[in-house]
Amino acid sequence: MIPTTQLNKENDTHSSHLLGLNDLNNNPNTLFDFWQSLIDNLVISRLFDTQINNHALIKKMTDEQGVYNKLLSEYKEKLGKVFYYNTNNYPSDIQGDLKGNVFYAQHSIIPAINRIDDDIQPHLVSGRKTLVIFKPHEKIKENEQLNIKVYNEDNEKIYSTYLLPPSKLPKIAGTEQRFTRLTPDDFTIPKSFDFTINASKKIKELTESTNYLNQLMTENDIIRVDIDAENLSINLDSLKKRPNKKLILNLADNIDANIKYRNNSIPLSAQQSFVMISDETGRWFTRDESRLSFHYQQALNIDKYKTPETFDVEFTTNDDINHISKNPKLFQDIIKKNDTIKIATRDYHWAKDFIIPNSKQYANKKILFTSQAYFNSDVTYGDNEVRITTGETKLFISDDEGVWSIYSPDTQSTVNYALPQSFDIKINKNKELQKISKDICYFNEVINNNDNIHIATRNANWARHFTLETHPNFKNKKIYFSSDADYDSHVFYGDQKITIKKGDSQLFVCDEFGFWRTYEGEPLINDDSDEIRYIENGWSVAIPAEYIKPKIRLEFDYHGKQGTLSDIYVGAPTELLLHTIDIGMLTPYRGELAFQKNAELQRQYFQQIPINRLIVSHYAPIHLKEIVLPSGKHLTHRSDDDGGGHNGDMREQISKDLISDGINLANYGVHSSATKENNYLPTAQITIHNSRGIYKNGLQEHGWSGGAGKATLYNTVDNEFSHELGHNYKIGHYFKGFKGGVHATPDKPNSTWGWDADNNFFIPNFEKKKTNKYTVLDARDPNAEKAEPYMQHAMLKDAMSGGELYDKAYNAYTLHTPTTAQAIQHFFENSAIFSKTSSTGYQKWDPNTQTMQEYLPPHTKNISFVDVPIVDNQDVTETTLSALLNKNDHIKIESYNSHYPPNIYLPQADHSNKNKVIEIDCTSQWSIKLHVNGNKQIISHNTKVYYISNGDSWEPSSELTFIQKPVKQGVPVVTLVGFYDPQNQLKSYIYPALEGSYGMVYNNDTIDTTKPYLAVTLRNGEVKQYQLDQHRFISQLMNKFHINIERRLEPVKAELYVKGQRVSSQHIELTDQPLPTTINGIIQS
């Protein structure tokens, strides 16, 4: 079949010339008339051996991708090359007269009911798109309907739909052939362009700015780029979907470039013109991909439309033939139950009328009518009717919707496979060989103009690659390859490749359908690789995220039979906030923070972890030209320390402690902290960074470290990223040993596959290549437990156990085992999230009510409490406490034996002590009488309590919660960090401002000028002040500060004050570079 897109090409003169379509725009007839016109104009005999009498197939094939992949799978199934991974047979998971087993998939496949002893699995995440897989215990035909309904906790139906048949269950990543309506002829380079880029500055902008290329694609359909700079990379994956666009890349001499698309990467060499086209779906294709797609489509159509070799049922006697003729309901029931039917009439065994109605229950059936009877038979199919006369054979085929069409029977090939006695042209000069090798359009013209071609290579007259494209206009053409060259040549045709070595020769003949073959009957599809599917008879459907809530139940329905799945545990709508920054210390930053630059990588990581939302913020890269350490040491050229991947004072104290912890703490409204690793982690918030610096031992790049809300990474793709973030989820090395760290087959604990919900493919838990190797947790252990390979594919390992990837082209991060995924989920469900709707600014999951509740996080541990002096058996007076509160925000009364105050008198709560905190910790064997708010209370043995002034009264709390609420959340911020010495003995320092795309901001303080504070001047002249702690947290070291200012306010200067004196200042220079934020890999506008 000719793809319908060919009829709509107005500018493709090459395509029109080859296929003779120039006069067809004025021929608005049926597809049959169009086909006849092709035959008349080109004398194409029996193109694909079918004469289409009904064009319903074309109208109904709205999903060619699914249709052709289904055909390809059916073809493999005939070859016995389809295998099912999960072959477990367990009792029904659902209650009712419909029986079956249920699986979910979010980031990975989860059994609805875990039936394997000692197996650990995660549960569903609220508000996340979920694939439901149902394996009925009875066989249900593909064209029948299986329904699913979702009910909420009030037994109200909130969603209903039908499940897709097993042929549409997601496949393993990369195993589906990508089909498109594009053909190789569409890749002809046009003579004119809508827009040309040839200035070096613009080309650089093209490679660095997603916005620029997106804008060009919005305004232009055909864009030419002349590349004259080395090592440029154009990433088409970062573009919004732009259908029907053409990008032509021309490379100058000695220039190499790279183009990325659909997670593929193609190197381009000098003096090459390369064309990329987006089809009507917005997916990008190369010419070779369209060639393979076109070949498969035509080959699968021939296979689909050919007459079956055997039939499920045949009708050849007069009684049987008349029985189905006179009883249409019986005939329809026979069609429903059988895929292939033959009706053969002859004299005395004949009937006049047959009715074949259109109906989805008759999808993908074949009925062959043959007649040797004197009398005609009339067949009504759908809304059409056809007469079958003596000697005729007609094959009726239904499509996926059960709509019938007629196809001609198979005929004998007339192609001659003998070697020609002479050739019209011989190509043996290097210039011509190179031209037909690199310019496929030119090669096609040569083939079109010559019936017999000889291509001869020898030393100095040679080319590496030749491509023979499938084309109906090449019928009976012959190409003979011979080689006397020391180098191999490769000929690509159909879906295979033949290598021509020295002394070899090979004849290629184009058959009547336009396929190149090396011998008569050569298979058109040669992919004989195994196809592994997750489960047999798996019906599936993706339930939208908004219907995945706690306490839902599922109901399945098939022909009046029902089955219900209740007690579905749906957990928290958890979140992860990742900040990203590239840091250079006394040297420029690396510029290789791939995760930050590529939203697709962010999307892929989201697909690997059990959360509802992944927010990724983008901080501008920073080159720190001078470094001040918390000790006061000032560096301008290099550190005096030795650096390394895990070593270096700047690594620890600047990139990790100051910047990464500083970004996190600024988002909590914690203005100052100790200069050491921070452990204040109320939410799942992590800052990831690349960093490097100049040390005593030279330039050192840091990485391979994670935990406590930060990750120092050398590589932000592959297992390093997954592993170091795993440490942030409190997962250790070799978590749970062999049973937790090594993936397993479905008959054992710890088995799953990943699921990409956006692209709807599975990521298996075994290696892509066949190595037939056993998998061990630690290869250094000679007695290590081993996991057997699955069909020669070695089992993979978890990220925390030396994990590997299935295929980086489809997901650049490690598939966690269910054991680790459950532990990660536990971490997230025990973490709070920032919430704009909460009165506290935070929410946290309550597993008892299965709801998100308002939450006050505990205060940071880096609070300096001043001890109240205690004299044994003497009261703590109001005067003593008032004096201490005048100078300190946090004071502590500690009572123990021989250090016991019988009474404590709190001063009256008022504006002067608002938000100040008194901790009382009683470990003495005697109780204390507390006088507070005009009342008496008893503080018993082993009691710790905090009293916080709200300005009117002292409020007790069993834990010190964080009382600051963000005034804005998720806004662009300027993060100010640095060191200050409350004693003003070491030189304080404000670092250059950090610009981020997403953060939390807080109200400025009413400050006490006798204590340290930061003053920030805005462009409009307003000054905002932020109070800092007045005590050193660690003796001999400065404290660090970290404060967010909303970017919209345009801060221009920061000044640091200690004891009323300005000790440091920094001008704030903001850039105009775009800093995108993504949510689940989607760039936010």
Look at residue 127 and tell me whether its pLDDT is greater than 50.
yes
- Gap between the Cα atoms of 912 and 951, Å rounded: 8
733 among the known binding-site residues?
yes
Phi, psi of 673 (to 5 degrees): -160, 175
- The answer to whether 273 and 226 have CB atoms below 8 angstroms apart is no
Domains and CATH numbers, the chain: 4-60 (no CATH), 83-177+535-571 (2.60.40.1930), 184-282 (2.60.120.1230), 310-407 (2.60.120.1230), 425-517 (2.60.120.1230), 732-831 (no CATH), 884-957 (2.60.120.1230), 970-1082 (no CATH)
pLDDT at 52: 34
Token pair for 945: 């309590």
Half-sphere exposure of 338 toward its Cβ, with a 13 Å CA cutoff?
A: 19
Nearest alpha carbon to residue 109 among 738, 845, 823, 815: 815
Highest mean pLDDT, choosing among 433-442, 468-477, 656-665:
656-665
Position 33 pLDDT exceeds 50: no
The model's confidence at residue 216, banded by pLDDT at 50, 70 and 90, is confident
User: Which residue bears the tokens 């290329």?
Assistant: 213
Label residue 254 exposed, middle or buried (CB < 10 Å: 0-12, 13-18, 19+).
exposed
CA separation for the pair 337, 252 (Å, rounded): 63
- Contacts (Cβ under 8 Å, ≥6 apart) of 354: 324, 325, 331, 343, 369, 377, 378, 379, 380
For 136-165, write each residue's pLDDT tens digit: 999 998 888 999 999 999 999 999 999 999
890 is in an annotated binding site: no
Which has the closest alpha carbon to 856: 839, 837, 840? Answer: 840
Q: What percent of the chain has pLDDT over 70?
A: 91
Average pLDDT, integer, range 380-405: 92
Q: Is 147 exposed, middle or buried (0-12, 13-18, 19+ CB in 10 A)?
A: middle
Query: What's the pLDDT score for residue 7?
Result: 28
User: How does 272-294 read in b/e, with b if 16+ C-beta sit within 10 Å?
Assistant: eebbbbbbeeebbbbbebbbbbb
| Confidence label for 71 from pLDDT (cuts 50, 70 and 90) | confident
pLDDT in tens, 1038-1076: 999 999 999 999 999 999 999 999 999 999 999 888 899
Report whether 691 contacts 704 (CB < 8 A).
Answer: no
- With tokens 């997962």, the residue in question is 731
pLDDT of residue 964: 84
Band of residue 1028 on the pLDDT scale cut at 50, 70, 90: very high
The string of DSSP letters for 470-531 reads --GGGTT-EEEEEEE-SS-EEEEETTEEEEE-TT-EEEEEE-TTS-EESSTT--S------E
Q: Please, which pLDDT band fits residue 648 given cuts at 50, 70 and 90?
A: very high
What's the confidence (pLDDT) of residue 408? 66
**324 or 209: which carries more pLDDT confidence?**
324
Residue 46 has pLDDT above 60, yes or no: no
Give me 493's structure tokens: 């045709």
What is the rounded average pLDDT of the residues 723-734?
97
Share of the chain above pLDDT 90, in %: 72
The pLDDT of 709-722, averaged and rounded, is 97
The tens digit of pLDDT for each residue in 51-68 reads 333 333 333 334 567 777
What is the average pLDDT across 697-712? 96
pLDDT value of residue 411: 53
Task: Count CA within 13 A, CB hemisphere, residue 702.
Answer: 30
DSSP string, 784-840: --EE--BTTEEEPB-GGGT---S-TTT-SSPPPPHHHHHHHHHHHHTSBEE-SSSSS
pLDDT above 50 (res 19)? no
**Residue 662 confidence (pLDDT):** 97
Angle among Cα 936, 942, 945 to the nearest 5 degrees reads 55
Mean pLDDT value across residues 373-400: 93
| pLDDT (0 to 100) of residue 507 | 97
Higher pLDDT, 748 or 58: 748
Please give the backbone phi and psi of residue 154, each rounded to the nearest 5 degrees, phi first: -95, 15
Would you call 4 exposed, middle or buried from its count of C-beta atoms within 10 A (0-12, 13-18, 19+)?
Answer: middle
pLDDT-based confidence at residue 103 (cuts at 50, 70, 90) = very high
Which pLDDT tens digit goes with each residue over 326-354?
999 999 999 999 999 999 999 999 999 99
pLDDT recorded at residue 53? 33
Sheet of 425-427: strand order equals 425-427, 452-458, 478-484, 505-510, 516-517
The residues near 98 (Cβ < 8 Å, ≥ 6 apart) are 136, 556, 557, 558, 561, 562, 563
Q: How far apart are CA 244 and CA 186, in angstroms?
A: 11
* Interatomic CA distance for residues 217 and 211, integer angstroms: 10
**Of 484 and 242, the one with more pLDDT:** 484
Give which of 738, 816, 797, 784 is closest to 110, Cα–Cα.
Answer: 816
Label residue 512 by pLDDT band (50, 70, 90): confident
781-790 mean pLDDT: 93
Helices 328-337, 318-326: crossing angle, 10 deg rounding: 100
Q: What is the pLDDT of residue 409?
A: 60
Report yes or no: 962 and 668 within 8 Å, Cβ to Cβ.
yes
Active-site residue list: 724
Is residue 408 classed exposed, middle or buried when 0-12, 13-18 and 19+ CB atoms within 10 A define those classes?
Answer: middle
Give the tens place of pLDDT for each residue, 942-990. 999 999 999 999 999 888 877 689 999 999 999 999 999 999 999 999 9
842-876: pLDDT as tens digits: 999 999 999 999 998 887 766 778 899 999 999 99
Nearest Cα residue to 209 out of 234, 230, 226, 229? 234
| DSSP conformation class of 236 | G
pLDDT of residue 677: 62
Which pLDDT does position 576 carry in this prediction? Answer: 99
- Model pLDDT, residue 539: 98
In DSSP terms, 842 is beta-bridged to: 834
pLDDT tens digit string along 922-951? 998 899 999 999 999 999 989 999 999 999
Backbone angles phi, psi at 555, to 5 degrees: -130, 125
Residue 238 pLDDT greater than 90, yes or no: no
The secondary structure of 607-629 as a DSSP string is TTSS-SEEEEEEBPPEEESSEE-
Residue type present at position 105 = A
CA distance linking residue 684 with residue 835, whole number of Å: 13
> What is the signed CA dihedral for 106, 108, 114, 118, rounded to 10 degrees?
-140
The residues that bridge with 961 in the sheet, in sequence order, are 858
Q: Indicate left, alpha or beta for 478 from its phi (over 0: left) and psi (-120 to 50: alpha).
A: beta
In this predicted structure, which of 175-184, 553-562, 759-768, 813-822 has the lowest mean pLDDT? Answer: 175-184
Angle (CA) 722-728-732 rounded to 5° is 80
Question: Is 618 annotated among the ligand-binding residues?
Answer: no
pLDDT of the residue at 8: 32
| Ordered strands of the 851-854 beta sheet | 833-834, 842-846, 851-854
Note whether 1040 and 672 are within 8 A (CB). yes
What does the DSSP 8-state code read for residue 1064? E
Per-residue pLDDT at 28: 36
CA 650 → CA 596, 633, 805, distances in Å? 22, 11, 32
Would you state the pLDDT for residue 207?
A: 73
Assess whether pLDDT exceeds 80 at residue 516: yes
Alpha-carbon span 688 to 686, nearest angstrom? 6
Could you tell me which residues are beta bridge partners of residue 386? 379
Whether residue 393 contacts residue 368, with contact meaning beta carbons closer than 8 Å, is answered with yes
Of 191-200, 436-445, 569-578, give the lowest mean pLDDT range.
Answer: 191-200
Please report the pLDDT score of residue 296 as a whole number: 87
Cα distance between residue 1040 and residue 1029, in whole Å: 10
Residue 1013 three-state SS: strand
The total of other beta-carbon atoms located within 10 Å of residue 478's CB is 24
What is the residue-averaged pLDDT of the chain?
A: 89
- So what's the pLDDT on residue 266? 78
Separation CA 489–CA 481 (nearest Å): 10
Asked if 1081 and 614 touch (Cβ cutoff 8 Å), the reply is yes
Residue 135 carries which side chain, given as an amino acid letter? K
Cβ proximity of 724 and 706 under 8 Å: yes
Token code pair at residue 269: 């060499």
481 pLDDT higher than 90: yes
Q: Name, in order, each residue with C-beta under 8 angstroms of 783's C-beta and a sequence gap of 6 or more.
A: none
User: Is the pLDDT assigned to residue 44 strictly greater than 80?
Assistant: no
Residue 790: pLDDT above 70?
yes
pLDDT given for residue 478 in this prediction = 97
